[in-house]
Structure 1
Amino acid sequence: MKVGVFSSKSYDREFFSARNRNLGFDLGFLDIALNKETVELARYFDAVSVCVDDLVDSSVLRALKSFDIHHVALRCSGFNNIDLKQAHKLGIGVSRVPNYSAESVAEHTLAIILALNRKLLKAGNRVLDNNFGIEGLLGFNLRNKTVGVVGTGAIGLTLVKILSGFGCKILCYDPVQSADVTALGHNYVSLQELIKESDVISLHCPLTEDSQHMLDHEAIQNMKDKVMIINTSRGGLINTQAIISGLKSKKIGYLGIDVYEMESELANNDLICEKIPLDTYQRLATFPNVLITSHQGFFTSESLVQIADTTLRNLQYYFAGKVCDETFLL
């Protein structure tokens, strides 16, 4: 069976090819994203695999249907880039990778928190210039600080466990509460209370119509002064213009993001010799208390093995005429 792997990078080719040796799929790796301009390239495949940079809207789905393609295998947990209602209407199945090395994203989140707090990038650059002074590098202890974790799925729960070891007071918000979180002795509160009481706010929830811009101008005004905001989930969870205003007014003391609202134009691309046209990104990058990474929270060898294994297993299920309740969205 031929599978078109869109938006594939060198690491996709390496890990998918290795895990596919005993499965025998004919994997066609394409380094371009699947969208309405490129969907014609899918014509020659029996199924397609896509990731966060691909846009599988109604027009793309109709084209896939016309090519007799009935399955889209996401290589990610989020699914905001695919029109699920249209897929269901057309009889196109969708699968995803709901859990892949939650530790990788949670540990990356912690790394951003510590790097921002202790100003590690600034400190490292100073030493390279033979400046061993520590003025301007003052941080704070995480112990006894209140950390608000928004979303307590696999990644959020893992972060809660990690931060418990730092002696943080942890507040959680999630429409679906986890017994594992409460068993650890942590409390669920309303999103409004979490925003008001937290010294650090970390986002770990999917992007939906309800969660779009959950951190907006109003939410930021209700936060503590000098709050730290971390987003390693989806860029659209925060209103970037509101964040910029909060940074300018110094309401926000620290911002760490591994995702960005318009990241499909930036993430995983080497633009070192190009002018980046996104003014809001450029504005964010000017703040000394902002740390931006390029959607690399998932990027560990363990995570890539899990992504490849789950995606290929989902394709096995599809071609065998089966449905995996755990990973299939339709």
Structure 2
Amino acid sequence: MARRSFHLFVWSSVSLGLLILAASYLHITNGVFDMSVIDVAKTLLRINSNKEFDLVIFEFRLPRIVIAVLVGVGLGIAGVVLQGITRNGLADPGILGINAGAGAAVVIFMFFFQVRLIDSDMSSWLLIMMMPIFGFIGGTIAAALIFAFALRHGHLDMQRLILTGISINSGFGALSMYLSLKMNEKDFESAAVWMAGTIYNANWIFVIAMLPWLLILGFYIYKKAYLLDYFQLDEVNMTSLGIHVEKEKITLLLASVGLVSACVSVSGSIGFIGLMAPHIARQLVGIQHKYVMPISALIGAGLLILSDFIARTIFAPGELAVGIVVSIIGIPYFMYLLVKVKD
């Protein structure tokens, strides 16, 4: 059984890796300014480099691909953690309101510091580096409220969890909208596009801002992946195994909130990745979280790269927010899961 799971993990990893490369190829070569594979290869290898190709690849398309990968990985891992500690297959950073809490904190930050994420440059790098911290505070407040209202006799009530998450999501969404309406015209445009979920203005500052969060928290969560297997047991059994249930639950939750906050701070609120990726991963490799987690991360990265490619090209030269494309894919999948859970 263990050998079969490992083989499935290897094959799934290789297949998803190839799909991500194919999606990246489409993303980097297609658009208003088309390029051939040879042009891209020469530019990347610095062979007869061209200023136009340098600008398109290094300033526009490559940062978008990297951000899409990082955000997809972060949301995929966070989704695995939330579904694992709540034992609820419908748990997702967006549905539970963590995205909205982190987003509201970032909108507050944008409101007071007048940071325009769709028009940022090197002069605002310090403010951009601070944004994940504000997002983490907002996400933590949202998570604390959700779990406080969902606790019943010291245990999480799954029905309350989902209902509370939806309420918190609506409340923080309303707060974000209210603050954005108080902004001036340019700041409002920036906030509205960002809230829809976008990596339109991805740049290397955003990569640097979220990379430490992803590396540190992602590594920590993966080291604790085995605990998510135990979380599927009754809490009494976990305690008998010497596991500090509440302590581990809180640390894993805070780590996942940190990941979500870093993602939200650079891409806005992108829902459903954290819902879909873990389910697809479990269908591919089984229920062992040491395999589910990296596969979910790869699926999240692939989904977001493909979604951003569709968002960038379907209405070219105009552009659709990637969060809308992900929602178009995710809402039918969410309905399917609801029907499946009901059955």
TM range (shorter): under 0.3
Relative to total residues, which structure has the larger helix share, 1 or 2?
2
Relative to total residues, which structure has the larger strand share, 1 or 2?
1
Task: Work out which of the two has the higher radius of gyration on C-alpha atoms and give 1 or 2.
Answer: 1
Structure-2-length-normalised TM-score: 0.25
